[in-house]
Structure 1
Amino acid sequence: MGCEGTEVVVTTDSSSCCHGCDGDKGKKGKGGGRGRLWKKMIRYQLVEYHSLPGYLKDNEFILGYYRSEWPLKQIFFSIFTLHNETLNVWTHLIGFFIFLALTIYTAMKIPKVVDFHSLQHLPDVLRMADLHKIQSELLNCLPSMPHMSDLQRVRDEVKTAFSSMDMLSSSGRHLLDLLTACLPNRFLHSNSTDISIMRTMKEDLANMIAPLLVRPISRWPFFAFLGGAMFCLLASSTCHLLSCHSRRLAYIMLRLDYAGIAALIATSFYPPVYYSFMCDPVFCNIYLGFITILGIATITVSLFPVFQNPEFRSIRAGLFFGMGLSGIVPVLHKLIAFRHRPEAVHTTGYEALMGLLYGLGALVYATRVPERWKPGKFDIAGHSHQLFHVLVVAGAYTHYHAGLVYLKWRDLEGC
């Protein structure tokens, strides 16, 4: 995110080189091959800030270790070398792979993971479920379960889970009788007390029953957020890696980077807005439409060349920060509408932490701390842009956990 201003233009003039470049071309000897090799070594040296062309001068507190107008081959290899963009590339590239793994995990596991104890919160859903189907599944699956003397405990927990359902139909009562009578009688013939086996059996029972009771809600807002996070992190990492190639490529990469920032902020609103107001389509559509339009407008403004000039650093940070602040309205609305729900408070805590991390990152980015205090001391590691990247990944990861709470809440209760 915000990869501007950390690459440079390299010239073959030895006076612009640093870090081991002495420019003594007379030492190339009689062999033309040695001379060409020496010129290549000079060309791909890292340079200092004062040697940069104007369009790459952004942070005057980072004094050295810049790349400049390198060929793409050398640029790709530079991902494994040390320069002032190395950590900028890797902090978001690692973040991209983290969110790719989370996306795969979410797609494969989350719809199937149901807490056994959460079944006690399902009376309304149970009344709408196909209880004859549940009974059939239980009759087919129960005989294959392991025998153990502690299964009485499972019987008691299941009975407790369903005991609060005062309005169960006759088929529901039959299911309850099946669970509370069949389980202990079938499996009381074993002396096994293996707790791990007991836990596995309980999880199998929960995952057998819950999919029949729970109709998972739409996942697209959650995956939209994960997609926005991956796009932002990969665009940022690519921008930091490639922008030193040429003025035109730097311009394209910066536009892509700004689009990634706006996409992350906009899609971060999708899960809280959709899952909080899924039962109130008017407010849901208003909030989703507003943040989407704001994100598109931000991307459009960022396409203007003047937007990348160093004097607009604070405006850039303020624009994206303002997008984040716009999320306060739906969050407060959620707290008021669902003030009696612990899930609303829980998710708001995650969202507040996410906002704090994003806001701190924007502040560090705009003020260029700590390198402004000791110019040249944080060229390789520890400068503001690297800290900004770490805070962005941490904020997005925090929001992922909020999304899991939303999914569990709405899967179990619906509207």
Structure 2
Amino acid sequence: MENEPSSDNRDSNEQDIRRRLHERPRNASSGDIDTQPTFLRSRSDSSKTNLRDKTDELADSVFEVPTKCVEQAKEVGKRVVEYVVDHALLPHWLVDNEFLLSGHRPPMPSVKQCFASIFRLHTETVNIWTHLLGTLFFICITVYYITQPANEVHIERKIVFCAFFLGAIICLLFSTLYHTLSCHSPQFAYIFNKLDYCGISVLIISSFIPWIYYAFYCEFGTKIAYLSVTTILGTGCIIVSMWDKFASPAYRPYRALLFIAFGLFGFIPTMHYGLLFGFRHAFTTGAAQWLALMAVLYITGASLYAARIPERLAPGYFDIWFQSHQIFHVFVVAAACVHYYGICILSRHQDSIGDCHASVISPSSSVLTSFFR
């Protein structure tokens, strides 16, 4: 009797053991199932955190670029501000364009400092470099022509072309020297200002030489007459350029008009050439279209220079870049290159002429016939 309770207890114990053994795998598996999403969630949260950190770093690096640029610009600005002065602080002999409010070089009584200013940023930087590069370009072309063999480039063509190259080099070099050394002293500004205007006259004279020479290749008297008149007019412009008041800012429009009028003299031999050989011939073999483009570039640049556009329309906004004098310089170099291309085309016609006596125009040929030829 006493053993019965113990058997019941054993049975209940065995049942508890079986129940626990049966439930253990389920608990273990459920534990595994419960912990697995937690692990995945932790990895997911970690990857999201890393991605967010990388995104923040990328954003910081992107925003760092303009910040660094601004800081560098400020450093450059500090150097420029320390180096240049406003228009109101300029001495009277450096006052030229009241619409350029800042960025001017102060007086520099040292030639070394003036030449060192070529590599600094101020109102004359672009003026210097445009004509300095133009000078080097035409020097290279001159050396190329001179060194060509005589059987490829005849000595006659070398002399005619080099006359134009020399005029372009003188004009662009004098302009470069003036814009570089004008801040040295009143004496330097006076001397190189005169040379600058003389260089413009020399360029106009030298531009006429090859065109008139080849256009009227077989018209010796006409050629000499036009070259003589051109030289006289150019000498007159040089004499006027020596006048002290001519260099003052008040005479800026008159300077531009004088050189424009001198350049427009080329319209007379061009019309003569068209009437003599026909305008169709003038605008094909005669390359008159390139002469016209050259005139448009010169006149446009000189007009903007005289009117001081665009700085007149927005004072202070074009102190360093895109002022009228800079545009004028670019147009002068472009016009000289266009003229060089035009006389290259015109000079080829000389090879096809042959004997000038065989190509003389009959006196009976009328102007109207030559006009529509």
Match of 1:105 in 2: 144
Distance 2:335 2:239 in 1: 25
Determine whether 1:230 maps to 2:169.
Answer: yes
> Is the 1:343–1:405 Cα contact (8 Å) retained in structure 2?
no
Matching of residues 2-401 of structure 1 within 5 Å? 45-70=83-108, 71-109=110-148, 217-339=156-278, 342=281, 345-346=284-285, 347-401=287-341
> Is the 2:103–2:319 Cα contact (8 Å) retained in structure 1?
yes
Specify the code of the residue in structure 2 equivalent to 1:96. T
Report how far residue 54 of structure 1 moved. 2.0
> Is the 2:246–2:255 Cα contact (8 Å) retained in structure 1?
yes
Gapped regions of structure 1 (runs ≥ 5): 1-18, 22-40, 115-214
Specify the code of the residue in structure 2 equivalent to 1:389. H
Q: Deviations over 1:99-156 (max 9, x none)?
A: 1122223334496559xxxxxxxxxxxxxxxxxxxxxxxxxxxxxxxxxxxxxxxxxx
Cα 1:341–1:377, aligned 2, differ >3 Å: closer, same or farther?
closer
Q: Deviations over 1:265-322 (max 9, x none)?
A: 1111111111111311211111000010111111111111111111100000000000
Distance 2:272 2:135 in 1: 32
Distance 2:275 2:204 in 1: 23
Q: Deviations over 1:199-240 (max 9, x none)?
A: xxxxxxxxxxxxxxxx77454232111110011011101100
Specify the code of the residue in structure 2 equivalent to 1:405. I
Match of 2:9 in 1: none
Determine which structure has more spread, i.e. the larger CA radius of gyration: 2
Q: Deviations over 1:34-92 (max 9, x none)?
A: xxxxxxx99x7311111112222111110111112212121111111111111100000
Task: Using the aligned pairs only, state the percent identity.
Answer: 43
Cα 1:223–1:341, aligned 2, differ >3 Å: closer, same or farther?
farther
> Is the 1:92–1:389 Cα contact (8 Å) retained in structure 2?
yes
Q: Secondary structure of 1:345's partner?
A: coil
> Is the 2:274–2:281 Cα contact (8 Å) retained in structure 1?
no
Cα 1:323–1:110, aligned 2, differ >3 Å: closer, same or farther?
farther
Cα 1:216–1:52, aligned 2, differ >3 Å: closer, same or farther?
closer
User: TM-score w.r.t. structure 2 length?
Assistant: 0.70
Specify the code of the residue in structure 1 equivalent to 2:88. H
RMSD: 2.2
Q: Deviations over 1:325-363 (max 9, x none)?
A: 111000111112122774653410110010010011111
Q: Secondary structure of 2:101's partner?
A: coil
Distance 1:308 1:300 in 2: 12
Cα 1:377–1:341, aligned 2, differ >3 Å: closer, same or farther?
closer
Cα 1:413–1:216, aligned 2, differ >3 Å: closer, same or farther?
farther
Report how far residue 20 of structure 1 moved. 5.5
Q: Deviations over 1:184-209 (max 9, x none)?
A: xxxxxxxxxxxxxxxxxxxxxxxxxx
Gapped regions of structure 2 (runs ≥ 5): 1-76, 357-373
> Is the 2:86–2:104 Cα contact (8 Å) retained in structure 1?
yes
Specify the code of the residue in structure 1 equivalent to 2:159. W
Distance 1:60 1:324 in 2: 28
Cα 1:409–1:110, aligned 2, differ >3 Å: closer, same or farther?
farther
Cα 1:107–1:403, aligned 2, differ >3 Å: closer, same or farther?
farther
Residue range with higher mean Cα deviation, 337-346 or 321-330: 337-346
> Is the 1:96–1:234 Cα contact (8 Å) retained in structure 2?
yes
Specify the code of the residue in structure 1 equivalent to 2:130. T
Match of 2:367 in 1: none
More helix by share: 2
> Is the 1:335–1:345 Cα contact (8 Å) retained in structure 2?
no
Distance 2:190 2:250 in 1: 17
Q: Deviations over 1:353-403 (max 9, x none)?
A: 100100111111011111111111111111011110000000000000111
Q: Secondary structure of 1:362's partner?
A: helix
> Is the 1:317–1:362 Cα contact (8 Å) retained in structure 2?
yes
